[in-house]
Amino acid sequence: MLLRPFALFLILMTAAAGCATHRPAKQTPAPVAPPLPKALSGRLLEYYPDASKRQHEQGRVVIDAEIGPSGVFEQPVSIDRAQTDAAPRLEEAASKILRNVKFDVGEGYKKRVTVSIAFELVPCGSIAQAASADYRINLCLDPSPYANFNFAEHPPSELESKIEKILLRGDLADIDFLEVTLGARFRVTPPVPSPYPIYGDRDHSLHVLVTPTLVPKIFRVQGFEYRSRADTNAHTSTFNLNLPPFECPDIALWAARLKLPSTFSMDPHGYGQGADFQSGGEHGISVSAFNHTGGGCQLIVSQRKEMNEPFSSHTDRDLISPAPLVRGLGAIIASGDIRNVARAERALRTTFTTSGPGTFGFYYELKTLIPGIDPGYFEYSVNDTGQENASLFFYVPPKPANRTARLVLMIDVYHVCIRLGQLPSELHRRGIHFRHAAKDGEDHYVIKGNNEIRVQLQHFGDCVRDITLSQTTDVRHAIVPITQFPINQ
């Protein structure tokens, strides 16, 4: 039977509807994080805090934030504490990075995102990003001011080259190596009782003593010294090589060349500024420099290691005759004026140098060694200012003082032994009258005259360890006026 047209139409429409119910529905894609603005990448390192650079602070900050309708993050953002391990300073810096960033917005972009920011200092790559973060931002910074420096155009100086060989050797106890490398010469004793508390042994235990006898021309004579100290409680020894250079090195530049971190500090009392770096780890060698406000620099190379003594293939037992030194001191005392620099140079067979008048008068340095005298603790000064510093270690207002002159000699007692009676015998020989007093291992002699001279001798055994000549002067009676003192630059 033939179907009528209307019935056929209904059958076809029903079939079409059934097919439509089995067709898959169209899916909407999941929103994604909008692209990171390109403007952000060019200035990221500006956000690394200066204080964090100085303190070498590093770490990861993970932030959960919501992008607002205008494309910027809603404030405040939320720090994910479970995944953040950076200092508060870096957390604040991370928040600043995201504060003014503007993203694209739209139905296809996420509104809630996670940002992982790694703050690192060179070398980089040790801090892992949060795995689930939408954005991973890396700030890798070389904090050195010499990060882009052309070291080839600034090779190490002669001084730096010598010290770098010592750093490579890594042993300040080896006197032979120091002599060859520096071009210096030291007088070295076998282990002997220490005459000086500065060596750390007040009980005069056995110790190797090292005294310079030849100082390289790149260093000043005065202050050039080698010291070692034993800490029996900690079972360690500290070795110090004090090197006063004519030209102080730039420690920060030097450390950057060696790819080592350096530190910088200011003296709280205004005496100068210091900088240092260390090579070779905990028991390596450190290099530090102190620049004095009034000029001059002291370079100290030091090392702390297991208890030991300096060692050398040669030890010196030969004695130096004390007669020239005793006669020279007698000549200075007989002149009645310690201020006469030219006479003191002739008497001690040496030369002095000075930078000119300072706040408290003239200070003279050794320009050439005096045989048997330790240049590390030499002092020669003339103060005609009528005031002096009230403290050696802290700045306080000057106090009124007599006009004075002072000469201090520390003697290498194991190579120059001035017997206790030698200097008074020399004074008697010259017809010099004096008063004498002895107390606590010291002898004091007072010579009266226009300008009274006092002589103080400290003992070690039967030998004189230290000699101090001091004088209260009256400018009107001075043999050589202060303005006529020779000044050697």
Mean pLDDT is highest, among 132-141, 180-189, 225-234, 271-280, for 180-189
- Tens-place pLDDT, residues 413-436: 999 999 999 999 999 999 999 999
The radius of gyration of the chain's CA atoms, rounded to the nearest angstrom, is: 38
Q: Residue 39 CB: number of other CB atoms within 10 A?
A: 10
First to last CA, the chain: 135
| Helical segments of 139-204, H only | 158-169, 175-182
Q: How far apart are CA 179 and CA 173, in angstroms?
A: 11
38-141: CATH class? alpha beta
| Helical segments of 138-174, H only | 158-169
Q: How far apart are CA 113 and CA 94, in angstroms?
A: 15
Query: In the numeric block, which tokens belong to residue 145?
Result: 């001011």
Q: Which residue has the higher pLDDT, 54 or 204?
A: 54
Q: Are 378 and 215 in contact (CB under 8 A)?
A: no
C-alpha distances in Å from residue 42, one per residue of 45, 72, 104, 145? 8, 18, 19, 19
Query: In the numeric block, which tokens belong to residue 61?
Result: 């900050």
* pLDDT the model gives residue 41: 66
Q: Are 329 and 469 in contact (CB under 8 A)?
A: yes
Where in the chain are all domains bearing CATH 3.30.2420?
Answer: 38-141
pTM: 0.69
Question: Does position 68 have pLDDT exceeding 80, yes or no?
Answer: yes
Q: How far apart are CA 358 and CA 489, in angstroms?
A: 14
* pLDDT the model gives residue 6: 52
- Tens-place pLDDT, residues 347-387: 999 999 988 888 888 899 999 999 999 998 899 999 888 88
Which of helix, strand or coil describes residue 472? Answer: strand
**Torsion angle (degrees, nearest 10) of CA 33, 34, 36, 38:** 170
Question: Does position 278 have pLDDT exceeding 80, yes or no?
Answer: yes
State the pLDDT confidence band at 95, using cuts at 50, 70 and 90.
very high
Q: Are 65 and 79 in contact (CB under 8 A)?
A: no
- Tens-place pLDDT, residues 453-489: 999 999 998 999 999 999 987 765 554 444 443 333 3
* pLDDT the model gives residue 204: 62
Q: How far apart are CA 411 and CA 414, in angstroms?
A: 9
400 φ, ψ (degrees, to nearest 5)? -60, 145
Mean pLDDT is highest, among 36-40, 54-58, 193-197, 300-304, for 300-304
Bridge pairing between strands 225-231 and 236-243 = antiparallel
**Torsion angle (degrees, nearest 10) of CA 223, 350, 339, 463:** 70
Listing DSSP states for 228-270 in one string gives EEEETTTTEEEEEEEE-BSS---HHHHHHHTT--EEEEE-TTS
Q: How far apart are CA 469 and CA 325, in angstroms?
A: 14
Q: How far apart are CA 58 and CA 208, in angstroms?
A: 45
Beta-carbon contacts of residue 82 (< 8 Å; ≥ 6 apart) = none
Q: Which residue has the tokens 């972009």?
A: 109
**Cα four-point dihedral sign 472, 478, 483, 485:** negative
150: amino acid identity, one letter? N
Q: How far apart are CA 256 and CA 142, in angstroms?
A: 11
Q: How far apart are CA 221 and CA 215, in angstroms?
A: 6
What is the pLDDT averaged over residues 247-274?
A: 85
What is the pLDDT averaged over residues 334-347?
A: 92
Q: Which residue has the higher pLDDT, 464 or 292?
A: 464
